[in-house]
Chains A and B, each alone.
Chain A
Amino acid sequence: MLELKNISKSYKNKKVLVDINVTVESGEIISLLGPSGCGKTTLLNIILGLVDPTAGQLVYNGQDISKQSMQERGFNIVFQDFALFPHLNAYDNIIYGLKNKNVKMSKEEIQEYIDFLELAPHLHKKIHELSGGQKQRVSIARTLVMQPKILLLDEPLSALDGVIKESIKERIKSIAREFNLTTIIVTHDPEEALTLSDKVIIINEGTVAQFGTPHEIVTAPKNKFVEDFILRQLHIKRHNIYQLFGETYA
């Protein structure tokens, strides 16, 4: 269980995050949703340990981790553009972090991750020979073998094209289930957030506009921002799709 208590962040005079209070249960998929510049990436970096909050506390399973370094926290992140080492092949990227661990992971265990992400045919390819979806999976595998306590994903779908998006979405869901892994995703796309996650944190101008399940957000938007910004987008999308296929299609 991860608790964010009164997290605030300001750079000089600019307030980026104000008084964020959220509790994430273990094994949940949580989305941080909001327009660009709302502070969601800063919040992700604070959880990761890259950025120190100006005020507030982070508590993980009852323990205050606010002062812990990135390594001590043991969370891990998958970057938007994957950040795979270009001079190593797919397999060497996957096992990159394992070489630093004291407790060695067995070949079979590594193979399990590889099979789960269907990467077996691509292991000896160079990074530039992989497709976007394959890179994404290698990047996820590299992070998963480190057995992070919390998995952070920064805009995991934005670099992928349409068809792969849906399959990666399913993949993320199954990872969270399979490994009972708390997963926090940053996204600016309401559809992505609401269809992918158990709970959504909508952030606007550094504050939480609403925190709830997708169902709660759609049926009971808490304020005008959620209605105007988040729901309107979905309505327009629905309208466009209905226009394409006709009302009866739904």
Chain B
Amino acid sequence: MLKTNKIMKLIFLPILLFFLFFLIVPLLYMFWQSFKIGNVVTTQNYIEALRNIEIREAFTNSFKVSFVASVITTILAFWLAYAVHFTTMHRHTKKLVQIGITLPMLLPTITYGFVLIYTFGNQGILTKLVGQPLFTIYGYNGLVIGYVLYTLPVAFILMQNSMQYIDKRFLLVSILMHDQPMRRFYHTVYRPMVGTIGGAFILTFVLSFTDFGIPASVGGNYRVIATELYQAMLGSIVHFERGAVISVLMLVPAVLGVVMLTILERFNFQYKQVGQSELVKHRLRDTLFTIYSILCVTAVCIIFSTMFIVPFTKGYPYDFSFTLEHVQNVLAEKDLTKVYINSLIVAVLTAILGVGITFMSALLNTRTPLKGRKSLDVTSMMTNTVPGMVLGLSYVLFLSLSHVISCIFLRHLI
């Protein structure tokens, strides 16, 4: 027993130190930096930033566009998950939804923006087909669509995972108790899902609020907080303090999110066991949900398909004939393959290290009586909500790298 205790502590310590040095301390340091001008400690930076109309506008814009996007995403994801778990539509359709909706998750967010441009932009495929732009993709519209596409997979996975653990026999109980559809929906689906719905909303909001890739490509003149941060740090004149202040501002929704998640936790309950029951068939409902599901999947597919069409066209958007020329050219570039391999190495190492640390943390957290193990809960929630760009910036400040190196570092992180 004593021996295992020692081993536990031996594992716990490096994990704790890792989080301390690569998460907590850099963030605290950044926080500290945001209060400094030269060597003077002051709130001047905040006052300036909040007085700055551009930053204020960017902040409210970010808030507005993220809010709208996450409301849409949450609703879409909820009904998609509902279609999979609470209707008797064909199982092939269900599989299609599960794959079609989650697949785009594997793409980096910046491709979402490009894909939107290829589809809805002035020279986009859809624009060409219709003859004129349906709406301007640059700015508010593009951001909302981009964020929805980006966060839909995550929200959907959360919802459908949660619905999987809802006891379907309550539907039967509800029918036997002569419930009207609204009451049935409330007690058998909505009420058990409240916690998850709230969680999905918060998560999609924070993801949208802190995302950089989508505004970078389709943001246009619409200022959001993420692009402000980028400009503060990588513009012609670097404002470290302003960057720190914006980072702290970007953390506000994340912090609020964590608080709200803990409150939402109270609404959750677990079913002792999950009974399987045959769902009652309902033609109209199933047809409606099949149409809805196919529409959603088709929309996602159409938007992303351009990504696979464009590389094989001769001169997009003027000449749509098939060619492998571009692919061959790109593959012939030495630099690109080098970068590609670099990315692969970094990704593999990250995956190995990440899985290792999370596995160990989870093990320590649930299977040992170690003191302070609950601190891992907090850190895991932090890593979930702290935007990558903010963390990157905090590293830059913390490690006090030279300007050039820090730019490269920052670029890499994004």
Contacts and interface: CB of A to CB of B under 8 A. Distances in A.
Nearest to B277: A50
B173 A83 contact: yes
A2 interface: no
Contact of A71 (B178, B192, B269, B273): B178
A95 to B, nearest CB: 10
Contacts of B172: 50, 83
Interface in B258-295: 269-273, 275, 277-278
A205 interface: no
B275 A97 contact: no
Contacts of A77: 176
A119 B191 CA distance: 26
B189 to A, nearest CB: 12
Interface string A54-73: 00000000000000001100
A17 B176 CA distance: 24
Nearest to A101: B178
A79 B169 contact: yes
Contacts, number: 48
Contacts of A50: 172, 277-278
Contacts of A1: none
Contact of A70 (B176, B192, B269, B275): B176
A220 interface: no
A166 B275 CA distance: 26
A78 B273 CA distance: 16
Interface in B334-383: none
Contacts of B173: 79, 83, 85
Interface string B180-222: 1001000100011000000000000000000000000000000
- What interface size band does chain A fall in? 10 to 19
Interface string A32-51: 00000000000000000011
Contact of B169 (A83, A96, A101): A83
A68 B309 CA distance: 54
Given A83-B167, A85-B187, A87-B192, A100 B178 contact: yes
Interface of A: 50-51, 70-71, 76-77, 79, 81, 83, 85-87, 96-97, 99-101, 142, 146
21 contacts: A50-B277, A50-B278, A76-B176, A79-B169, A79-B275, A81-B272, A83-B167, A83-B170, A83-B172, A83-B173, A83-B275, A85-B173, A86-B269, A86-B271, A87-B269, A97-B178, A100-B177, A100-B178, A101-B178, A142-B177, A146-B176
Interface of B: 167, 169-170, 172-173, 175-180, 183, 187, 191-192, 269-273, 275, 277-278
